[in-house]
Chains A and B, each alone.
Chain A
């Protein structure tokens, strides 16, 4: 949390963390659909410190736990860029969070994240889960792992982006887009929970 933005923000963020995480307790298995997701303050490859409440005029957030190194995250990289480009103008930006410990997975270090974001011209914020506090609070276990939040940070959908990891031409369900369409109509997404193969989030033993 200690960054060039100084001690003040770092301290404030720590307090924010404590306040937001206390209700869940230490053995929180993660968020379920219907829960209110905690906000966070994380540094982005754009140079900013990012919190959800700083987003203006949004209808919700597509929070994606993803990384540089996982082949499944790579398979979804362009689709996540496309998703942001399509949905952000409608009020649903992608907020990407890299949850791996860079000391375990050096390819996911912040400098590498910046390289990747620049190279692929990420149109969304790409945040480092510095200290690895956010992914456990959300209950993310793999990359990529999507948590769709409405503007009140209520979890509306958890899971994959769509139903075909390898071949985009064979996609029959675009889960995230469908979930957003449902929320916009005032309906419950169906499904509101899907599973996909992915890489385990890397933590130090």
Chain B
């Protein structure tokens, strides 16, 4: 019965929008952190609609996504909103903001089991951002001051010396 309820919740959740994917289990999400065989730079931001500093910095990620569209970069905004809020909070939020960067929702609430797998230095507080390309990785807990701050954090992945 539990499984059925979960399934129903999942089906509902899957409809949060065309570009959004809902990850019920961290194991399904994990491959997003391990695309090390290509030369794309992944910018993965963990946020939630209820997190004021996260919402404040979302436009910087959106701007990054647009400004660097010609580069090999993928910006993924990973919402940690509660499963019960996907339909009522996340979906309306995304519709209102017209975000073009890809959005995913990670609703695996056994966070104690996966926080370290994102980065061992992460306490679990949001916002937090992971940038990686190949085996090069950089992680930040906390918000970016402005767009330039975020851009700096990401740009050296595009330094020809690397």
Chain A interfacial positions (CB closer than 8 Å to B): 70-71, 75, 141-142, 159-160, 163-167, 169-170, 173, 175, 194-201
Contact = CB atoms under 8 A, between A and B. Distances in A.
A197 B2 contact: no
Contacts of B125: 141-142, 197-201
Contacts of A70: 50
A164 B114 CA distance: 12
20 contacts: A71-B82, A75-B82, A142-B123, A142-B124, A163-B110, A163-B113, A164-B110, A166-B82, A170-B110, A194-B112, A195-B112, A195-B115, A196-B115, A197-B80, A197-B111, A199-B125, A200-B53, A200-B125, A200-B142, A201-B125
B116 interface: yes
Nearest to A74: B50
Contacts of B80: 197
A111 B127 CA distance: 28
Contacts of A200: 51, 53, 125-127, 142
Q: Dominant SS at the B interface?
A: loop
**Most chain-B CB neighbours within 10 Å: which of A163, A166, A169, A194?**
A166
Main secondary structure of the interface of A (DSSP, over half): loop
7 nearest CB pairs, A to B: A142-B125, A166-B109, A195-B115, A200-B125, A194-B112, A195-B124, A71-B50
B109 A198 contact: no
Given A75-B82, A199-B51, A200-B142, A165 B109 contact: yes
A183 B80 CA distance: 33
Given A166-B82, A166-B83, A195 B109 contact: no
Contact of B111 (A71, A141, A195): A195
A175 B84 CA distance: 24
Contacts of A167: 83, 109
Nearest to B114: A195
A185 B112 CA distance: 25
Interface string B31-66: 000000000000000001011010000000000000
Nearest to B53: A200
Nearest to A172: B110
Contact of B123 (A141, A165, A166): A141
A70 B126 CA distance: 11
**Residue with the highest number of chain B CB atoms closer than 10 Å, among A173, A195, A197, A200:** A197
Nearest to B51: A199
Contact of B124 (A163, A164, A198): A198
A55 B80 CA distance: 38
Nearest to B115: A195
A159 B125 CA distance: 12
B122 interface: yes
A75 B123 CA distance: 18
Contacts of B83: 166-167
A163 B2 CA distance: 18
Contact of A166 (B84, B112, B113, B126): B84
A166 B83 CA distance: 8
Contacts of A173: 112
A31 to B, nearest CB: 13
A167 to B, nearest CB: 6
